Structure 1
Amino acid sequence: MTIPVVPAVHRAVTHGATRTVDATTAVVVLAPELADLAKRFSVDIALDAGVTLAGVTDQPADASITLDLSDGQLAELPPASGVRADGVEVDERHGIEITSDGIRVWGPTPEAVHRGLTTLRQLITERAVDGAAVLDQLRILDAPRFSWRGLSLDVARTFHDVETVRRVIDMLSLYKLNVLHLHLTDDQGWRVEIPDWPLLTEVGAAGAIGDRPGGFYSTADVVSLVRYASERFVTLVPEVDMPGHTSAVFRSYPRLAPATAEGSAGTVGNLNPDDATTLRFVDDVVGAVAAQFTTSAYVHIGGDEAFGMPDEAHARFVDRAMDTVKRHGRRVVGWQEIARAGVGPGDLVQYWMEPTSIQSTLDAGSLGSMVDSDVLASMVPPEMLPLLAEALGKSIDDIPTALAKGATILVSPTTRLYLDRPHAESSTDIEQDESRARIGLQVYPAATLREFVEWDPLDETPMVDSDAQLAGVEAAVWCETVSGRDDLEFLLLPRLAGVGEKAWAAIGATSWDDYADRLAPHSTAWDRRGWAWFRSSLVAWELKGAELGA
């Protein structure tokens, strides 16, 4: 029997009978710290499945859903590998028991119980008809493979408002993902308040890519988002990209820009690691984001694509930025290029450029054709293309170098985890094929939903032979082709469910047929939530719904 849950559970045993959840079913909390979880669960069940529960109580009741803090029967499950973005050791192992007497969800921590309730949400939604769900009696014991399970969201090229970010947090929570990495700054815009540098938001936040509107998150917005995310056990990790991707900085404060050949302030280039004002700027920015993103143990410093910057200067800048982050009481994470600086134990290096495909390009002598690419030429100034080709060549040694220095790898390979790749298969909704031709970065080959799940993080990371060398798994969605919320969700779903599968489930390479069967019923919740998901023709969405209705 297929348990229609994504990500796949560690262990499940069915009992052959059924248990009904309906308006007579109460949620009983045996520990007061679980009361808020129970209330949110009740709201989520109503939204996802149309099932209204009887309420939340601390009094034992028959035929109820009982929540308990306990580690009973969970010691046999493996602990998670990797590191958590909040820097806290939390046990997420949990159990679910559905019997004729009622339903019990337990775990040693509130977060563990939340993960169990997430599984129960999916089970109820799959079986919900007319306000009730008849569930198979079963026992599930489950645990995550990796501690860091995330998504990097580009809010610089397209600004996404607070409500959109909340919707993304809800999607993450539904698939047991626990990190939202916000790419807050780039050439196209600056999206977070820095009190000592007000022009960053007055000038740098004014626009986005093309003619899209700009915007930024006020300090109050960040407080609201951090709270909303933490209530759903998601950590918001801020990224301030430097020393490159800083045109918005230079528009705001030209004195920070490198001098052009004519001696005037330019708007492209990299921050200067040897300039006192620049170092004060970095200190103020890191201090401000560390103060605002209070649940994150990490500040992401970017460090990628510092085109035209001498290697020594880049390493010097990264070293100083890392020192600044640590001085402000946070840990360092950065894109894989920071491996060329003084990273070490405790630092996270985010792997995104895949050496196999890059080496194939080098061996084939096709970097020249890359430089001549019409797609790249439409995105990158011509003078930057040779620098891009040079950067790709350098990247081959990044991960071995990071490992040799004792750093930990965060897995984000472009081929498997960049969700802004175009959809390769058609949609079951013919109107979506027009969107499919428009949304997704054309410089990447199109990818099928199947390609996003038939792989394993350990196998795809060079020079790594153990989960212990990995922090976890993080997808990314870049927004060059995303004009608004619907476009964003069109790229995120159903793919985000597969990210949860790769980050949580300890099953290695996923079987596509099994995964497609488990995923198919999830469209019910997406439709009820009003999420704009891609109706991949590879999954029998309508057929599954017809079977459930029967």
Structure 2
Amino acid sequence: MPLPVIPRPAVMELADGSVIVADGMPVVALGPILGPVAQRFAADLRADTGIELPVVTEGIAPGGPPAITLAISEGGLAGLAPTSGVRADGRSVTEDADERHALEIDADGVRVWGATAEAVFRGTTTLRQLLVAQLEGGRAELRGARIADSPRFAWRGLSLDVARTFHSPETVRRVIDMCSLYKLNVLHLHLTDDQGWRVEVPSRPLLTEVGARGALGDRPGGFYRLHEIAALVAYAAERFVTVVPEIDMPGHASAAFHAYPELGGLTPMGSGPLEAEGIGSLPAISNLDPGRPEVWAFVEDVLDAVISQFPASAYVHIGGDEAFGMPDTAHATFVEKVIELVRARGRLAVGWQEIARAAIDGDVLVQYWMDPAETESITGSEAFQSAVPAEFLPILLEALAKSTEDVPRALEQGAKLLISPTNRVYLDRPHAAPSADPAQEERRRRVGLPVYPPASLRQGVEWDPIDAALGVDSDEQVAGVEAAAWGETVTDRDDLEFLLMPRLAGVGEKAWAISGATDWDEFALRLAPHATAWDRRGWEWFRSQELPAAVTARPVSG
């Protein structure tokens, strides 16, 4: 039976002895830098298990009662594999953001140490998972063990669409907790799209007064006020998660046009945007025009406002995708200028894979998402073609046909890739397996973009990021792995959590753990005990029949 830890640690060794963790066992933070980490661990463990642990700052005398001790140390970590990629906060993976950590369990208690406070936090996350798995009668007995670990990739993220469906700050905090549990360290907020504008720009008040009024269909709109963004950024930082903002441009700009019609737009369909009907996955065809001075005044106002609200992020996501009908030269001109405007403000740019069609530098991150084989299969399907207006279809197919050259162009220009293939980590796909809970079957039929083939939990782990994109053959070409949760079929928080959990555990596995495809049967054994924490947290997770029946049975309470 493997230790129930996700992502799978690099080193897992069983040892002699055991220790019981129950109410009152002290958590000892050796050094003031670890005080907040200890407090966070105690609070999270209480939420996951109900166990109450006091935090103290003085060591326990030898021969005293067992304790959980947290320390800064690099002892025994030298043999762990180095981390590849880049971090969203711009820090160094070998210095101030070294995440290597270890823990030992024996009769004297638990010792967790790491190279940095963040590393120790990752170690306490592993400990939380072990305690959840052994929870019985309000306490947990841990077997003796030694675990040592470090992440494969520095950027491990989730892109969350809050434009098509607006999610409250409380819901975003719940998503941050899910990310943190599986050692994901980036929440990429897709803040603007055709359906809504979700972030304040004080110099452009109509973006929120008009552009934020609605969402997809008849869903309620909304936006995050300045203090709400600040609180979310701080909440994430306490869990060592960086929030990266996305302002999608030059396409997906209808909300901005509704707010400020004088921005105009490039469109092949006439003077106004063509609004696509049907499933809601299709954007309006109208793009910001790089030839209009008022567009650049607008872009600079937006960047100034957004960058100041996300001070921990070294990156601004500029979108760059699906600028349907926009001439290639105009698109390239727009992307290149936005990258320079971001750089002039002390930040770096990340964008969807289409930005590789412009001239970019090696400090730009390119987010690969279109798997060529699946894109061809989807666009050729009856479901897709029946959902696309006839006049729109040739424009869309022409744009998608260019996608096969995006990754080679990105690599030729020295850019690193964020690996986000639709067929593996787009979490807005329908669930393939039935639910063990009949009450979830209506939601399973309704939630998940119908143009995508349904996906199993197994598909989410039986792959390797290096094999996902043509031309990638080394971790050195990869910035990290990021999943995406789009909102076309998501009507509320329960729908969102139903798509995210337990899929996010698989994302964490692929972004953190050592290379190679994960064996599903072994992964499922590690995953199953985590349901205790999901239920205690009140998360609406998908009770797939792929998981053991004892796990998917809905508890009578809490």
One-letter code aligned to 1:84: R
1:281 aligns with 2:298: yes
Q: Tell me how large the CA RMSD over aligned residues is.
A: 1.7
Q: Which residue of the partner structure matches residue 412 of structure 1?
A: 420
Instruction: State which of 91, 99, 107 in structure 1 corresponds to 2:106.
Output: 99
One-letter code aligned to 1:488: L
Q: Which residue of the partner structure matches residue 154 of structure 1?
A: 161
8 Å CA contact 2:29, 2:55 repeated in 1: no
Instruction: State which of 271, 295, 303 in structure 1 corresponds to 2:312.
Output: 295
Q: What is the alpha-carbon distance in structure 2 between the residues aligned to residue 404 and residue 264 of structure 1?
A: 37
Q: Which residue of the partner structure matches residue 519 of structure 1?
A: 527
Q: Residues 432 and 252 (structure 1 numbering): CA distance in 2 closer, same or farther, change over 3 Å?
A: same
1:130 aligns with 2:133: no
Q: CA deviation at 1:385?
A: 1.9
Q: What is the alpha-carbon distance in structure 1 between the residues aligned to residue 110 and residue 383 of structure 2?
A: 58
- 1:94-151 Cα offsets, whole Å, 9 max, x none, are 0001011111000010000000000000001110112211001100001100000000
Instruction: State which of 449, 458, 468 in structure 2 corresponds to 1:441.
Output: 449
Q: Which residue of the partner structure matches residue 75 of structure 2?
A: 72
Q: Which residue of the partner structure matches residue 180 of structure 2?
A: 173
More off after superposition, 173-182 vs 56-65 = 56-65
One-letter code aligned to 1:344: D
Q: What is the alpha-carbon distance in structure 1 between the residues aligned to residue 549 and residue 49 of structure 2?
A: 16
1:353 aligns with 2:370: yes
Q: What is the alpha-carbon distance in structure 2 between the residues aligned to residue 15 and residue 264 of structure 1?
A: 71
8 Å CA contact 2:436, 2:552 repeated in 1: no
One-letter code aligned to 1:156: A
One-letter code aligned to 1:150: G
Q: Which residue of the partner structure matches residue 244 of structure 1?
A: 251
Q: What is the alpha-carbon distance in structure 2 between the residues aligned to residue 263 and residue 196 of structure 1?
A: 30
Q: Residues 213 and 102 (structure 1 numbering): CA distance in 2 closer, same or farther, change over 3 Å?
A: same
Q: How does 1:463-542 map to 2 (within 5 A)?
A: 463-542=471-550
Q: Which residue of the partner structure matches residue 352 of structure 2?
A: 335
Q: Which residue of the partner structure matches residue 326 of structure 2?
A: 309
Q: What is the alpha-carbon distance in structure 2 between the residues aligned to residue 269 and residue 213 of structure 1?
A: 23
SS in structure 2 opposite 1:332? strand
One-letter code aligned to 1:354: D
One-letter code aligned to 1:167: R
Q: Residues 23 and 442 (structure 1 numbering): CA distance in 2 closer, same or farther, change over 3 Å?
A: same
One-letter code aligned to 1:41: F
Q: CA deviation at 1:24?
A: 3.2
Q: CA deviation at 1:522?
A: 0.7
8 Å CA contact 1:297, 1:330 repeated in 2: yes
SS in structure 1 opposite 2:337? helix
Q: Which residue of the partner structure matches residue 240 of structure 2?
A: 233
Q: Residues 450 and 212 (structure 1 numbering): CA distance in 2 closer, same or farther, change over 3 Å?
A: same
Q: CA deviation at 1:257?
A: 1.9
Q: CA deviation at 1:545?
A: 8.9
Q: What is the alpha-carbon distance in structure 1 between the residues aligned to residue 436 and residue 536 of structure 2?
A: 18
Q: CA deviation at 1:300?
A: 0.3
Q: What is the alpha-carbon distance in structure 2 between the residues aligned to residue 19 and residue 216 of structure 1?
A: 48
Q: What is the alpha-carbon distance in structure 2 between the residues aligned to residue 114 and residue 353 of structure 1?
A: 34
Using the size of structure 1 for normalisation, the TM-score is 0.95
One-letter code aligned to 2:413: K
Q: What is the alpha-carbon distance in structure 2 between the residues aligned to residue 171 and residue 24 of structure 1?
A: 26
SS in structure 2 opposite 1:121? helix
Q: What is the alpha-carbon distance in structure 1 between the residues aligned to residue 272 and residue 321 of structure 2?
A: 22
Q: CA deviation at 1:78?
A: 1.1
Q: What is the alpha-carbon distance in structure 2 between the residues aligned to residue 545 and residue 414 of structure 1?
A: 30
Q: CA deviation at 1:375?
A: 4.4
1:218 aligns with 2:225: yes
Q: What is the alpha-carbon distance in structure 2 between the residues aligned to residue 456 and residue 374 of structure 1?
A: 29
Q: CA deviation at 1:374?
A: 4.0
8 Å CA contact 2:18, 2:143 repeated in 1: yes
Q: What is the alpha-carbon distance in structure 2 between the residues aligned to residue 145 and residue 385 of structure 1?
A: 40
One-letter code aligned to 2:84: S
SS in structure 1 opposite 2:465? coil
Q: CA deviation at 1:56?
A: 3.0
Q: What is the alpha-carbon distance in structure 1 between the residues aligned to residue 389 and residue 246 of structure 2?
A: 24
Q: Which residue of the partner structure matches residue 403 of structure 2?
A: 395
Q: CA deviation at 1:507?
A: 4.0
Q: What is the alpha-carbon distance in structure 1 between the residues aligned to residue 249 and residue 339 of structure 2?
A: 11
SS in structure 2 opposite 1:66? strand
Q: CA deviation at 1:54?
A: 3.6
Q: What is the alpha-carbon distance in structure 2 between the residues aligned to residue 447 and residue 461 of structure 1?
A: 19
Uncovered stretches (5+) of structure 2, i.e. residues with no partner: 275-284
Q: Residues 270 and 518 (structure 1 numbering): CA distance in 2 closer, same or farther, change over 3 Å?
A: same
Q: CA deviation at 1:382?
A: 3.6
Q: What is the alpha-carbon distance in structure 2 between the residues aligned to residue 144 and residue 260 of structure 1?
A: 44
One-letter code aligned to 2:287: N
8 Å CA contact 1:521, 1:544 repeated in 2: no
Q: Which residue of the partner structure matches residue 201 of structure 2?
A: 194
Instruction: State which of 77, 84, 87 in structure 1 corresponds to 2:87.
Output: 84
Q: CA deviation at 1:431?
A: 1.1
Q: Which residue of the partner structure matches residue 282 of structure 2?
A: none
More off after superposition, 262-271 vs 24-33 = 262-271
Q: What is the alpha-carbon distance in structure 2 between the residues aligned to residue 260 and residue 344 of structure 1?
A: 28
- 1:49-96 Cα offsets, whole Å, 9 max, x none, are 121124433342531000000011101101110000000111000000
One-letter code aligned to 1:448: S
Q: What is the alpha-carbon distance in structure 2 between the residues aligned to residue 376 and residue 282 of structure 1?
A: 34
Aligned residues: 537
Q: What is the alpha-carbon distance in structure 1 between the residues aligned to residue 496 and residue 253 of structure 2?
A: 24
Q: What is the alpha-carbon distance in structure 1 between the residues aligned to residue 317 and residue 272 of structure 2?
A: 27
Q: CA deviation at 1:389?
A: 1.0
Q: CA deviation at 1:400?
A: 0.4
Q: Residues 95 and 255 (structure 1 numbering): CA distance in 2 closer, same or farther, change over 3 Å?
A: same
One-letter code aligned to 1:42: A
Q: What is the alpha-carbon distance in structure 2 between the residues aligned to residue 296 and residue 2 of structure 1?
A: 36
